[in-house]
């Protein structure tokens, strides 16, 4: 009898706890269209079970209630709002940025100095001060200095492709080749070192889809209690330990060198940060300094590598696009003594359009997120976004929305040329927008352009095997990762008739 009473009490307590902590009436009360949630998991079960990627889930939510400006949903017991209307997106990211200046997914997690101290995660005044101090490194002057380093790496890429061409197989896997190219650039421009052999493998350990990494990242973004219990880190323990040790050694060596020089040459990002430590306006501890170096490692490799590899595959499938792009590249080289400069690379409009289209179709981090710092009335509606509410924007939802990009699964650079004036700039957000946009957007853009130029200036590319389109995201990839890799084959100009 006592056992039954205790059991009934426990059931009653469990029911009360569930009702108090898993109340799914939040959006219904506010008359906001929402996806019907499941008990415990809300709308997140497919991503939690790795049946689809988080980015794909947010895109699926975006597709619901086509004519609504926003949709409510739940990640476990927590309500979130997904914004679909470009005007509201503009208000949140730009016009009313001060009310949404922090990321909803960022928080202090013990034992994860990268997730806590990086520019990606910092909040409020600390973020504002650090960004203002780091921004000069990405100025036009600095981009010009780094352009030569990037073109040197591009020439090495061209030589590697020539070696592949001379092999009997003459086939290369685009993601690995593009990843090595991007990691070599990061080594040169961001850290001022020859590329370590481990760089590409470390990058793969961060981004390649796996059950463990998916659970780590889900914990970091949405289940922080697990991140604390299991001591998960944003980039994984292996990558954290390796990069932390590598950068500490570099920093210690250069700080010793500074003792013999009045000023360190600021030709790479790490030297720039070391000099920045002398600034009394900002507290840049060893861990904070390393966190910035590591976050640019992660952002500077995966994003450009994804855009280059997927862009090349689309170009390989579209002979007219490839013919026009190669003609523009070869003409520009012929007009400039076979050299490209920071200035004349801007005079390649079709290349620019192809790069923009590549970034539309392939973004490593598939969403933007913000958190309301105060109650906020959504312009043109009666909805009040309450303080603390998390806001999401699905980049794949926006970029593949036929309202803004007709025939969205088609690789069509023309949409950034003849139809450029019709494009809604807040429907195209590969680097975000507003004060918290991607600080390295121009750097990434140059990387991708130099990569494509050095592949296509001497070679035509064709698909070694056909992949079903549209490209499918790997269900275990938290970041955007293709479900299948793809191979390209080269043909030299001497082998073909243009």
Q: What is the pLDDT of residues 141-200, one digit of tens each?
A: 989 989 999 999 999 999 988 888 887 777 878 888 898 999 999 999 888 888 888 888
H helices within 118-236, ranges in order? 124-134, 140-166, 174-186, 198-207, 211-221, 224-229
**pLDDT of 495 higher than 70:** no
The answer on pLDDT for 16 being more than 50 is no
Task: Please provide the average confidence, as pLDDT, over all residues in the chain.
Answer: 87
- Residues 463, 316: contact at Cβ < 8 Å? yes
* Residue 360 lies inside a defined structural domain of this protein: yes
Length of the chain equals 498
Provide the pLDDT for residue 22.
56
- pLDDT(327) > 90: yes
Per residue in 364-395, pLDDT (tens digit) is: 889 999 999 999 999 999 999 999 999 999 99
Q: What is the pLDDT of residues 223-260, one digit of tens each?
A: 888 888 888 888 888 888 888 888 888 888 887 776 66
- The domain that contains 109 carries what CATH number? 1.10.630.10
- As a whole number, mean pLDDT of residues 102-113 equals 78
Helix axes 286-317, 174-186, angle to 10 degrees: 140
Most confident of 2-16, 190-204, 400-414, 466-480: 400-414
**Phi, psi (5° rounding) for residue 263?**
-145, 135
User: What per-residue string of b and e applies to 134-173 under the rule 16 or more CB within 10 Å gives b?
Assistant: beebbeeebbeebbebbbebbeebeeebeebbeeeeeebe
> Can you give the residue range of the structural domain that contains 122?
85-495
**CB distance 459 to 165 below 8 Å:** yes
pLDDT at residue number 279: 76
- If one counts the domains in the chain, the total is 1
Domain-embedded: residue 297: yes
Which is more confidently placed, 2 or 354? 354
DSSP type of residue 381: S
Identify whether 201 is part of a domain: yes
Q: Are 183 and 157 in contact (CB under 8 A)?
A: no
Q: For residue 275, what pLDDT is reported?
A: 80
Which of 364 and 407 is assigned the larger pLDDT?
407
Q: How far apart are CA 368 and CA 221, in angstroms?
A: 12
Residues 286-307 have pLDDT tens digits of: 788 888 888 888 888 889 998 9
Q: How high is the pLDDT of residue 405?
A: 95
pLDDT score, position 170? 79
Residue 443 · residue 139 · CB < 8 Å: no
Percent of the chain residues past pLDDT 70, beyond the cut: 89
Identify which of 438, 429, 379 has the alpha carbon closest to the alpha carbon of residue 404. Answer: 429
Annotated binding residue at 354?
A: no
Classify 322 as helix, strand or coil.
helix
Phi-psi region of 65 (alpha: psi -120 to 50; beta: other; left: phi over 0): left
Residue 349 has pLDDT above 70, yes or no: yes
| The pLDDT value given to residue 225 | 82
Residue at 358 is within a domain? yes
Q: Is residue 9 part of a domain?
A: no
pLDDT band at 484 (very low <50, low <70, confident <90, very high): low
Beta bridge partners, 368, equal 393
d(CA 370, CA 335) in angstroms, rounded, equals 46
Q: Which long-range contacts (CB under 8 A, 24 or more apart) does 256-263 make?
A: none
Rounded CA gap, 400 and 141, in Å? 35
Q: Is residue 326, in this structure, part of any structural domain at all? A: yes
pLDDT at 488: 87
Residue 72 falls inside a structural domain: no
Tell me: pLDDT of 449 over 50.
Answer: yes
Band of residue 42 on the pLDDT scale cut at 50, 70, 90: very high
Q: Per-residue pLDDT averaged across 5-32, rounded?
A: 64
Residue 43 located in a structural domain:
no
**Do 153 and 185 contact (CB within 8 A), yes or no?**
yes
Is 0.75 topped by the overall pTM? yes
Beta bridge mates, 171: 489
Q: Is 477 helix (H, G, I), strand (E, B) or coil?
A: coil
């Amino acid at each position: 009898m006592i056992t039954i009473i205790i059991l009934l009490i426990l059931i009653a307590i469990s029911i009360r706890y569930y009702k108090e902590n898993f109340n799914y009436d939040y959006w219904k009360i506010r008359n906001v269209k929402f996806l019907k949630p499941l008990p415990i998991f809300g709308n997140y079960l497919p991503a939690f079970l790795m049946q689809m990627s988080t980015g794909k889930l947010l895109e699926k939510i975006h597709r619901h209630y086509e004519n609504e400006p926003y949709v409510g949903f739940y990640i476990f017991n927590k309500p979130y709002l997904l914004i679909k209307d470009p005007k509201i997106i503009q208000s949140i990211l730009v016009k009313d940025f001060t009310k949404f200046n922090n990321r909803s997914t960022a928080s202090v997690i013990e034992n994860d100095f990268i997730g806590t101290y990086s520019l990606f995660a910092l909040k409020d005044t600390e973020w504002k001060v650090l960004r203002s101090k780091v921004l000069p490194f990405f100025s036009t002057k600095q981009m010009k200095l780094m352009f030569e380093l990037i073109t040197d790496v591009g020439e090495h890429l061209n030589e590697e492709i020539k070696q592949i061409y001379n092999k009997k197989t003459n086939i290369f896997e685009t993601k690995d080749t593009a990843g090595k190219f991007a990691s070599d650039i990061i080594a040169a421009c961001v850290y001022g070192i020859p590329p370590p052999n481990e760089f590409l493998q470390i990058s793969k350990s961060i981004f390649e889809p796996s059950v463990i990494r998916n659970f780590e990242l889900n914990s970091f973004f949405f289940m922080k209690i697990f991140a604390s219990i299991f001591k998960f880190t944003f980039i994984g323990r292996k990558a954290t330990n390796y990069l932390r040790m590598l950068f500490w050694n570099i920093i210690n060596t250069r700080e010793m060198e500074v003792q013999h020089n009045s000023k360190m040459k600021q030709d790479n990002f790490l030297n720039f940060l070391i000099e920045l430590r002398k600034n009394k306006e900002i507290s840049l501890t060893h861990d904070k300094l390393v966190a910035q170096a590591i976050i640019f490692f992660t952002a500077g490799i995966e994003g450009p590598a994804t855009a280059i590899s997927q862009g090349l595959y689309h170009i390989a499938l579209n002979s007219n696009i490839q013919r026009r792009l190669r003609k523009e590249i070869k003409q520009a080289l012929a007009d400039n003594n076979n050299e490209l400069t920071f200035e004349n690379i801007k005079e390649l409009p079709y290349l620019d359009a192809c790069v923009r289209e590549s970034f539309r179709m392939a973004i490593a981090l598939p969403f933007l997120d913000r958190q309301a710092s105060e109650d906020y009335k959504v312009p043109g509606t009666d909805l009040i976004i309450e303080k603390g509410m998390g806001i999401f924007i699905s980049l794949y939802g926006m970029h593949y929305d036929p309202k803004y990009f007709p025939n969205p699964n088609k690789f069509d650079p023309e949409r950034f040329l003849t139809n450029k004036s019709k494009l809604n700039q807040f429907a195209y957000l590969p680097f975000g927008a507003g004060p918290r946009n991607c600080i390295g957007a121009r750097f990434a853009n140059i990387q991708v352009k130099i990569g494509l130029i050095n592949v296509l200036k001497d070679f035509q590319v064709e698909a070694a095997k056909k992949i079903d389109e549209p490209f499918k995201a790997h269900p275990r990839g938290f970041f955007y990762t293709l479900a299948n890799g793809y191979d390209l084959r080269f043909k030299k100009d001497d082998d073909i008739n243009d």
